[in-house]
Amino acid sequence: TRKRAEERRERRERSTARASARTGDAANARASANANANANATAGTSRTATRSACAFVARAQALAAELLRLGENAPRALSREDSKFARVLFDYEYFDARERAEDAAARDGSTYELDEEVRGSYGHVFERYWNAFDAVVRWHQDFVRFAEDVAEGTYVSETWEKILSDEDGRQYVCEAIAMFGVILKILDAKFDWRFRERMVVAYYRMRGASEDIANADEIVTLCARTGYDAARKTRPEGYPELYFARFEMPEWLISMVIGRLRTDDVYNHAPHYPNPDHRSTALAAQGGLLYIILYWAPKILNRGTSAMREIVDRHYADNWVVAYGAGLTVDLLTEWEPYEAASTAMRNAVTPKAARELIDNASTRVGELKTAFKTYLTEGVLTEEFVLSNEKVLMNVVRDANVVARFVLLHNLTTHKSVSSLVSYMPSKENIIDLLLDCAELENELKKIYTSLLSGKHELWEKCKHEAGERMKELSAYFGGTAGLSRNAKDENLRLWFANLSVEVERLSYDDAVAAGRTIQELETALTEVEQFHQIVDNIHAKQYLLDSRGYLGKMMMTSNVADSALNTLTIVSDAAYAWRVLDPYTEQLQQRIRKDPFAVRKLRFTFLKLKSILEMPLLRISQMESPDIYSVSEYYSSQLVSYVRSVVEVVPISMFEILNEIIGVQTNALKELPTKLEKTALSDYAQPAERAQLSKATYEISIFAQGILAMERTFMGVIELDPKQLLEEGIRKQLVKQITETFHTALVFGDGAKDALGWNNFVAAMMKTNPFEDRLNSLANRIEGFRRSFEYIQDYVNIYGLQVWQEETNRVVSYHVEQECNSFIKRKQVNDWESEFQSVAIPIPDYPALDGESKNFMGRLLRELMRQTDPKTTRYVSPHSGWFDTEGSEVVGIRTFSLLTSAVGNVGLAGLDRLLSFMVTQKLQMCIESYSERLRGDLGATIRALDNALRPLGSVPEGSIEAYEQAIRASSSAWDDMLAAFATIGQAQLLRRQLNAELVANIRIDSHTLSRALDTANKAILTDIRSHYKSPDTVPYPDEANAIVPKLSAYLSASGMQNPLRQIYCTVAAVDDDWGLAAFVFTLTQLELYRFDDVASTLVPINQSVTKIDAHVLILAVSTTLRQFHTDQTTSYLSHLGAFARAEISARRPSSSSSPDVFAPRARASIAWARAFATAHDVNLTVLASFFPPFVFSHAFVA
């Protein structure tokens, strides 16, 4: 161990020497904000040692928050074993065979692409994790250097003995060391060892093995496997002391700190817990610190018998389950079993008999406290006078309640076999929740009263003083005979006596509380004695004045005794930081309480306020140091609290949606739609009183739930304000999103994966001559419409804008799934779940697992089913009908289908499908162009160039041109198979996009005519400006690209379908030497052999249906789309060669007889039909098109 420590110390010195050369961008991670404190923490005499120790605590707290945040948001694509990236994410075995692993990745093309994809998509994630790990290492290096600097006298007149004698310094040092131990525990508990190692290796590979990375050795050591399994709660021998030994602390400092924690009251909590039975609770905070720090002193745990007996008796004898920060708890009976001295001390202190006695006492106290709470929380009992008169009793109740609550909450988690069976004797969860709720309410009321008293203490004193003085003066006047309350004889002595008392009251000073208190006591005694005089004893009016005077004097006495100490005691004893994560098992009981009484939310608010103490310790030192990390840390812990509150209160919207499902059933299935006109005799049939009564009852229950949560006041949970109305709306939105997503996920399942037996539906559809795809869309549309109608129905009863919420969340759900499905078409810059603008922490969109190997979610399944329905191999697109027909002439997909799509997934769904298709077209185009760019430099290119040479010049018909065409067809027909498959997909996607955009345009013109006209006008204005620029580039500037109008207008046009997909540029193509127009022509030439022009259908059809299966119209659109990506010269080349081919075919044609002089061969007619369809798709004017072909061919080729 000593040798390893020396080696680590040498490595630390080397890494520190090169740390100044580190160029990593630490700004990307919140953990790197600690780097700003690095120089200040080690700046020698520029800061006192005590202040530097506080800075280390602040850095550690910020780092712990960052690690917790990273642990909770680890990307699933990087952490799951079945992820596609798993084979390029290596653990530490990579370092043993680095060259072999890199060579294997470089040789395998798919592995190389996957490696590039993971770096492009998650490179910033690797860097953030590395920065966090690096911050842990640098914290340890800086603290050890700081400890050595203090020991060597760098801090003038400050020594470790002096620092640990100081109250603040003692706290800072203990917290700093313990927080580093907590950070190590967080690393091992929240991050799987494989994930840690993979992040380290991934960053190392991304930066390059040749680059010198500061602290690399230490980070590798930090993240190396420890053997601890957080899921199974199993740990290896020597854990965690060997893990802590990787980052040693000075042994002499650990010894001094443990000595202070053993004997001192570090946080001075003992005065607030006068009952000796509460000692371990008073010392619970430092008990958590001591538990962690002892792992740097394993000798004490193993052989320090007397020391451990003292530690256990003082801290853990009646609190053996310890909360030690960041929501982490530990059962010391189990945790310390491997350590001889520690386990012996625990067994002697926590025997089954002692544990049973503690549990029985806690159960008894819960019942007693319940009675006390019932008394004190009765309305009208807790007045200022009552609180001031019974301060000690109330404080004892609050103190006892918190001690008992802490004991039962923590010790319900005990797992040791000797006491785990005794947990059944604990109070029930319902009683524990009652105790917690009542205690929180009493604390809140007392804090309000004490706060009010302290803020108005002086004013209340003066008011009581004035009233008491006035009573004395009135009594003096009464006995002087100048003012009578009733008939009474004058008494000069009493007049003078009361006058003197009024003067004494006037002399009372608020600033001299001690003297005033003595005087008040004397005055109260005198007023009590004078009441026995015969002049007063029978005078009810005088006695009432004396009673009021004593009351005011007594109130003055109690007011003077009110001090901040009461409020401080309340704050300390009501601390519930230990309850973080401990309360999670009680969420169901809290929710059941709300289900029974929705107005119980008001009482829960006090419990939520009590839990705010979770924020205090992490933020205390950060705020003392005025660190900028306070914003990120407070945001993290506040969001955790708010998340817990939402999880509890979420039962309200859940219950509301359970009732809403009942309303949906009644409105959709039971209630009859009232016709416009109705006969009187049929009125009773439409009345349906039973169904309407059921609907009214359900509506009333929903309104009660809404009123209950709206009754809760606004509350700040750290830096986040909880608005009950917003909380209700977010809960409703969350459940709405969940229901909508589930509906889409279950309904949009096709083929073998359909849960409702789509095969049977196909059979039924065949018998009834309906389309099963349309039937499914229709069913989904009916479900969505019923849901929407019922949601709108309840909007007034829950005080939300139902239609707005419905549209926003539906759009968000669909847009999110479209965005995630788009990731399958791109390799880099994928939008991860946590980066999505549509995803939300408060209102998360559920992510269901993929049901097939192609699609990630329901939008992908819908797209691919639409592609299967319109497969160009089995269907033909008929433009006049805007639909796809099968070989029997039946319409498969048409205008009705797209109308059903609108009803099922809305306009945003149509726009999403359009976007997915555009990504698909882009992917196919890129792959096709890249693949054939290489082939055009090989044999295929040679064949094409030979044909080009044989056809020169294009304006004539060279001899042997037909033979050249035939030769090119024979030589290249097999080379176009990949392009044919790609073009079939591209053309089909373009057809679908065109139909989707037509449906969107029709919808927007009907639903929002004004918006449609505005977009159309704005679009034309922008295009006019662009055209003007190209006509006069010197005088008319191009529209400013920085103008926000252009991108926003583009987004609106895309969403509304006001675009032409055939005109779009899908991928950027660098300047090429290859003649892609000629290549496209040769591809077209090979396809013209397979099609003929059908006069009846007025389109190209396959010559042999069994051989040629792809719709020619699809291929024409694909050729147009491909040529659109290149310069217009390529289109000119394509049309020139196509015209030359038609010219050669016509020239070579000889009429079979003089009676039928048909000069148009089938291939010539097919080429002319192809060219005409291409011109329509490519926006080529017919006049321009005719210039490439022989005269009059377009007017005579298709004449019968």
- Rounded to whole angstroms, the Cα distance separating 632 from 31 reads 10
**Secondary structure class of 331 (helix, strand, coil):** strand
Q: Which residues of 643-653 are buried (b: 16+ CB within 10 A; e: fewer)?
A: ebbbebbbbbb
* Look-up of token digits 């739930």: 705
State the helix-helix crossing angle for 939-950 and 895-935, rounded to 10 degrees: 90
Q: Which residues contact 1037 (CB under 8 A, 6 or more apart)?
A: 1029
Closest alpha carbon to 794 in 700, 666, 693, 688: 700
- Rounded to whole angstroms, the Cα distance separating 233 from 659 reads 41
Q: How confident is the model at residue 1073 (pLDDT cuts 50, 70, 90)?
A: low
pLDDT of residue 730: 87
Mean pLDDT of 762-777: 65
- Rounded to whole angstroms, the Cα distance separating 1074 from 936 reads 7
**What letter would DSSP give residue 1156?**
-
pLDDT of residue 209: 63
pLDDT of 37 over the 50 cut:
no
Contact 883, 895 (CB under 8 A): yes
Strands 883-885 and 891-893 turn out to be: antiparallel
pLDDT of 11 over the 60 cut:
no
pLDDT of residue 487: 54
Contact 847, 742 (CB under 8 A): no
Q: Which residues contact 223 (CB under 8 A, 6 or more apart)?
A: 133, 187, 191, 193, 196, 197, 199, 200
pLDDT of residue 1072: 63
Give 1168-1182 pLDDT, tens digit per residue. 899 999 999 999 988
pLDDT of residue 134: 95
Mean pLDDT of 629-638: 90
More confident residue, 14 or 181: 181
Q: How confident is the model at residue 232 (pLDDT cuts 50, 70, 90)?
A: confident
Q: How confident is the model at residue 142 (pLDDT cuts 50, 70, 90)?
A: very high
pLDDT of residue 73: 87
- Rounded to whole angstroms, the Cα distance separating 475 from 491 reads 11
Query: Quick one: 806 exposed, middle or buried, by C-beta within 10 A (0-12, 13-18, 19+)?
Result: buried
Least confident of 86-95, 652-661, 716-725: 716-725
Q: How confident is the model at residue 1199 (pLDDT cuts 50, 70, 90)?
A: low
Tokens coding 1188: 């490439």
pLDDT of residue 830: 77
Q: Which residues of 954-978 are buried (b: 16+ CB within 10 A; e: fewer)?
A: eeebeeebeebbeebbebbeebbee
pLDDT of 390 over the 50 cut:
yes
pLDDT of 3 over the 60 cut:
no
pLDDT of residue 8: 45
Mean pLDDT of the chain: 85
Closest alpha carbon to 1189 in 1160, 1150, 1156: 1160
Give 956-978 pLDDT, tens digit per residue. 777 778 888 888 888 888 889 99
Contact 728, 702 (CB under 8 A): no
More confident residue, 853 or 1006: 1006
Q: What angle do CA 126, 128, 130 make, to 5 degrees?
A: 70
Tokens coding 1179: 């926006």
Percent of the chain scoring above 70 in pLDDT = 91
Mean pLDDT of 1017-1039: 87
Least confident of 69-73, 272-276, 829-833: 829-833
Give 911-923 pLDDT, tens digit per residue. 999 999 999 999 9
Mean pLDDT of 636-641: 89
- Rounded to whole angstroms, the Cα distance separating 676 from 681 reads 15
**What letter would DSSP give residue 1099?**
E
Distance of CA 1165 to the CA centre of its chain: 61
Task: Pick left, alpha or beta for residue 1176 (phi over 0 → left; psi -120 to 50 → alpha; otherwise beta).
Answer: alpha
Q: One-letter amino acid identity for 428?
A: S
Closest alpha carbon to 409 in 585, 582, 648: 582
Task: Pick left, alpha or beta for residue 839 (phi over 0 → left; psi -120 to 50 → alpha; otherwise beta).
Answer: beta
Strand (E) or helix (H) holding 59: helix 49-72
Give 323-381 pLDDT, tens digit per residue. 998 789 999 999 999 999 999 999 999 999 999 999 999 999 999 999 999 999 998 89
Least confident of 412-416, 710-714, 978-982, 1137-1141: 710-714
Report the first-to-last Cα separation within the chain, whole angstroms.
99
More confident residue, 173 or 974: 173
Strands 321-325 and 328-331 turn out to be: antiparallel
- Rounded to whole angstroms, the Cα distance separating 621 from 51 reads 10
Q: 138-142, 233-237, 642-646: which has the highest mean pLDDT? A: 138-142
Give 1104-1158 pLDDT, tens digit per residue. 877 778 889 999 999 999 999 998 889 999 999 898 888 888 887 655 444 445 5
Length of the chain, in residues:
1200
Strand partners, 1091: 1102
Q: Which residues of 409-444 are buried (b: 16+ CB within 10 A; e: fewer)?
A: bbbbbbebeebeebeeebbebebbbbbbbbbbbbbb
H helices of 748-849, where? 758-768, 772-793, 795-798, 802-822
Q: How confident is the model at residue 522 (pLDDT cuts 50, 70, 90)?
A: confident
Contact 476, 495 (CB under 8 A): yes
pLDDT of residue 230: 82
Strand partners, 1099: 1094
Query: Quick one: 103 exposed, middle or buried, by C-beta within 10 A (0-12, 13-18, 19+)?
Result: exposed
Mean pLDDT of 369-397: 90
Closest alpha carbon to 615 in 648, 571, 551: 571
Strand (E) or helix (H) holding 1094: strand 1091-1094
For 1133-1153, give the secondary structure using H, E and C.
HHHHHHHHHHHHHHHHCCCCC
CA–CA distance from 238 to each of 226, 258, 624, 674 (Å)?
10, 20, 37, 77
H helices of 266-351, where? 279-282, 284-293, 298-303, 305-311, 332-335, 340-349
Q: One-letter amino acid identity for 1170?
A: W
pLDDT of residue 772: 85
- Rounded to whole angstroms, the Cα distance separating 407 from 411 reads 6
pLDDT of 58 over the 60 cut:
yes
Mean pLDDT of 576-584: 90
The Cβ of residue 455 has, within 10 Å, a number of other Cβ atoms equal to 10
- Rounded to whole angstroms, the Cα distance separating 1072 from 299 reads 75
pLDDT of residue 440: 92
Least confident of 195-209, 296-310, 449-463: 449-463
- Rounded to whole angstroms, the Cα distance separating 1144 from 958 reads 8
CA–CA distance from 802 to each of 668, 744, 796 (Å)?
18, 20, 8
pLDDT of 764 over the 50 cut:
no
